[in-house]
Amino acid sequence: MYRMGMLAWLIGDCKKRENKEVNTVKMMKMALVHDLIESIAGDIVPIEAVSGVTKKEKQEIELSALKKIQSEFLHHSEMANEIYDLWMEFEQQDTKEAQIVRDLDKLDM
């Protein structure tokens, strides 16, 4: 469950040594959020022919898990908001950090 977080730490450190700055802490948190959501939603393979789940269904299942974490476990706290923001960043893939974590997820399959 923590492989992606550890890999994010390692990759962040390697990028730092190459003078290619990424936010390592953000990547580690994003990886942990990803794993937390998967602990509720399950690790759904993003290939419908394999999982029997469409991309839209997968997104709905994961969003439902995210909402459960926010409301039932974290009671809409500041941390719940941070988790939501990290998940949305991961899903949108607009940052280097999100793209690296997505690659780590593929590697972890």
CB contact at 8 A, 56 and 89 = no
Taking the domains of the chain in order of start, what are their residue ranges? 3-108
Please give the angle made by the CA atoms of 45, 31 and 6, to the nearest 5 degrees.
Answer: 110
Token output for 96: 């280097």
Query: Which pLDDT belongs to residue 97?
Result: 96
10-residue block means of pLDDT along the chain (109 residues)?
A: 88 88 95 94 81 88 95 92 96 96 88
On whether the 3-108 domain is CATH 3.40.50.2300, my answer is no
Instruction: Write out 63-102 in H/E/C secondary structure.
Output: HHHHHHHHHHHCCCCHHHHHHHHHHHHHHHCCCHHHHHHH
pLDDT score, position 1? 65
Comparing CA positions, the residue from 15, 24, 38 lying closest to residue 87 is 38
Tell me, what's the pLDDT at 27? 97
Distance CA 52, CA 70 (A): 27
Tokens of 79: 């941390």
